[in-house]
């Protein structure tokens, strides 16, 4: 995975080569993922749930994301690493710059922010100051209290049209990648076709430019609750490395996610 860049990820989109991503939180798994050929890793604020045992991502701090980003970077020195900006760490463009700088110094190649129209100025400000940005639409875990729970987004025509409009606006503002979470397959496909930047899906169908899963979900470790869009790849593999290789293979050949992992 040496030398992955945003321009290479963009070329993968253009050539129809599926992009495969997974969350990582420590050096050992980062090293494993890099050796298996994962295209990029996300130090997700999902660490609140899967590492800290929190009920949501909201308690996670910038300092915690930075700590885990440093660990991932040490485990995979050449990897493309994205870091989540946690809840209320980018409420204003000025605050976003200060907090994003901490994550970039910790070893991130890009930061990810959740939200639509209200983020346009922030994205422009970050990009102008040399911070690459990945946007995030659909289900926004940091907005769970506003959304009223973890629900599929963009099912109604008006909501779908609004999501498409916001995706285009985020790209126009300078976002170089988009994560699309828990939307109908048709919407995932439409947004991927309309955008020039890579669209990475999680519960957004197989027609997006790539897929991302939370590491623990991919290994079936969250046995009390597995979202519909998750597959336990360890169940069909002999060890962790084989499970990661199976995940990569099935995303690349289009067999994951299947119809049973998606929403209509």
Instruction: Give the number of other CB atoms < 10 A from CB of residue 149.
Output: 7
Region label for 81, one of left (φ > 0), alpha (ψ between -120 and 50) or beta (otherwise) = beta
Q: Decide if 264 is catalytic.
A: no
Annotated binding residue at 209?
no
Residue 100 to residue 246: CA distance in whole angstroms: 34
Out of 63, 94, 156, 181, pick the active-site residue: 181
Inter-CA distances, 196 with 48, 116, 128, 137, Å = 32, 17, 19, 16
Torsion of CA 104, 106, 110, 113, to 10 degrees: -90
Sort 1 into a burial class: Cβ within 10 Å, 0-12 / 13-18 / 19+.
Answer: middle
Annotated binding residue at 114?
yes
Annotated binding residue at 260?
no
Which residues does the annotation place in the binding site?
A: 45-46, 84, 112, 114
Give the residue numbers annotated as catalytic, written as ranges.
181
Which amino acids are annotated as binding site for 3-methyl-2-oxobutanoate, given as ranges? 45-46, 84, 112
């Amino acid at each position: 995975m040496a030398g992955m860049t945003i321009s290479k990820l963009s070329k993968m989109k253009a050539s129809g080569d599926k992009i495969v991503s997974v969350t990582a939180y420590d050096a050992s798994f980062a090293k494993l993922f890099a050796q298996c050929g994962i295209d990029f890793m996300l130090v997700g604020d999902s660490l609140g749930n899967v590492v800290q045992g929190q009920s949501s991502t909201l308690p996670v701090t910038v300092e915690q994301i930075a700590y885990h980003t440093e660990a991932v970077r040490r485990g995979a020195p050449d990897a493309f690493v994205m870091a989540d900006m946690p809840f209320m760490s980018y409420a204003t463009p000025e605050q976003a710059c200060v907090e994003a700088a901490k994550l970039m110094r910790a070893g991130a190649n890009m930061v990810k922010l959740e939200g639509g129209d209200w983020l346009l100025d922030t994205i422009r400000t970050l990009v102008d100051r040399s911070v690459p940005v990945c946007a995030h639409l659909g289900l926004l875990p940091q907005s769970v209290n506003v959304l009223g729970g973890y629900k599929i987004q963009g099912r109604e025509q008006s909501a779908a049209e609004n999501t498409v409009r916001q995706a285009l606006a985020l790209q126009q503002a300078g976002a170089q990648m988009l994560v699309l979470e828990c939307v109908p397959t048709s919407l995932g496909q439409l947004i991927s076709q309309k955008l020039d930047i890579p669209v990475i899906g999680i519960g957004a169908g197989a027609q997006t430019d790539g897929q991302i899963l939370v590491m623990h979900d991919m290994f079936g470790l969250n046995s009390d609750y597995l979202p519909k869009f998750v597959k336990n790849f360890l169940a069909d593999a002999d060890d962790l490395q084989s499970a990661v290789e199976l995940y990569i293979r099935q995303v690349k050949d289009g067999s994951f996610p299947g119809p049973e992992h998606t929403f209509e």
